[in-house]
């Protein structure tokens, strides 16, 4: 029964999500500019020379944890989930990445291995940049060096938020509320009146794994949030009407 529920949810997500993806991506130019998307025109032109656009279907692997990091990826369109854990064993979703995000930066800079796996949640367009070409690009542009530092700082902040959500939130409602807030900031848009809106990309099962609870509890808690008027869910879009109430949960 649980598998049937998840399959229906995934079908609904794929049916509606295509119109939620920001349009256009000459150089990741979307409504939420990424760390490297708003570089100066001359610098951005050099970056475009070092890369090309690739397409990825939904539910496709981009890279796997432990692989040698030969490329980093700029997301132009679409959404991917980042997970950690061994294949065939229990895995944890680290975060959802959307247009403007950079994947694999730390691994490329450290000449190391990908520390997470990346899988597409929707169809996606990405711009891969080979490690040596990206390092040469950084050596040539101080502005890009600062953006790389800022991007790594953002990854640290995401990791800290993840740890705080699990360790410091005492109730399931608080953990789920913080997860919704994190998603709204990472892949959503800020609306008038202090509201936020973002696409519903995760199943209740996946949200449960990120909040250390069960799918049934996530479903019940989201229902309570909707009943209280704190959130609404329509056409695979989540709107946070009262983010302050979610933030105040403990």
CATH number at residue 219: 1.10.10.10
CA 11, CA 15: separation in Å to the nearest integer?
6
Tell me the mean pLDDT in the region 193-218. Answer: 95
Between 239 and 250, name the one with better pLDDT. Answer: 239
- Say if residue 1's pLDDT is above 90: no
4 found inside a domain: no
Question: The whole model's pTM is what?
Answer: 0.79
Instruction: State the pLDDT at residue 168.
Output: 75
> Who wins on pLDDT, 237 or 90?
237
**Do 138 and 50 fall into the same domain?**
yes
| Percent of the chain whose pLDDT exceeds 70 | 85
Structural domain count, the chain: 2
Pair (128, 196) in one structural domain: no
Mean pLDDT on 124-141: 93
Residue 169 pLDDT exceeds 70: yes
Q: Which range, 29-43, 75-89, 123-137, 149-163, has the best average confidence (pLDDT)?
A: 123-137
Q: Please check the confidence at residue 8 and state whether its pLDDT lies above 60.
A: no
Residue 16 has pLDDT above 50, yes or no: no
Helices (H), 193-242: 204-210, 215-227
Q: How confident is the model at residue 78 (pLDDT cuts 50, 70, 90)?
A: very high
Q: What is the helix (H) or strand (E) element at residue 83, kind and residue range?
A: strand 80-84
Higher pLDDT, 46 or 64: 64
Q: Which letter does DSSP use for residue 35 in this model?
A: T
Domain CATH code at residue 145: 2.60.120.10
- CB hemisphere CA count around 209 (13 angstroms): 14
Q: Which domain holds residue 107?
A: 33-166
Same domain, yes or no: 112 and 194: no
Q: Are 176 and 128 in a shared domain?
A: no
The answer to whether residues 144 and 190 belong to one domain is no
pLDDT at 45: 81
Rounded to an integer, the average pLDDT of 111-121 is 95
Flag whether pLDDT at 228 surpasses 80. Answer: yes
Helices 41-49 and 131-140, packing angle to 10 deg = 160
């Amino acid at each position: 029964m649980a598998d049937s529920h998840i399959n229906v949810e995934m079908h609904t997500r794929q049916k509606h999500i295509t119109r939620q993806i920001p349009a256009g991506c000459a150089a990741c130019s979307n409504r939420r500019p990424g760390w490297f998307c708003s570089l100066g025109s001359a610098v951005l032109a050099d970056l475009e020379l070092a890369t090309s656009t690739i397409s990825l279907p939904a539910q496709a692997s981009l890279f796997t944890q432990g692989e040698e990091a030969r490329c980093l990826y700029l997301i132009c369109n679409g959404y991917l989930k980042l997970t950690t854990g061994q294949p065939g064993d229990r895995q944890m979703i680290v975060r959802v990445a959307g247009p403007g995000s950079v994947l694999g930066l730390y691994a490329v800079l450290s000449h190391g291995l990908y520390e997470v796996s990346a899988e597409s949640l929707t169809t996606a367009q990405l711009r891969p940049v080979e490690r040596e070409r990206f390092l040469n690009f950084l050596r040539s542009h101080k502005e890009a060096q600062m953006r790389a530092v800022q991007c790594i700082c953002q990854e640290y902040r995401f990791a800290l938020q993840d740890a705080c959500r699990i360790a410091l939130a005492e109730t399931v409602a608080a953990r789920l509320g913080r997860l919704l807030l994190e998603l709204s900031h990472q892949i959503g848009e800020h609306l008038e009146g202090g509201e936020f809106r973002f696409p519903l990309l995760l199943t209740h099962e996946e949200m449960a794994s990120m909040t250390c609870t069960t799918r049934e509890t996530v479903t019940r808690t989201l229902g309570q949030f909707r009943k209280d008027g704190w959130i609404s869910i329509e056409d695979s879009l989540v709107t946070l009407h009262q983010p302050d109430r979610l933030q105040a949960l403990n």
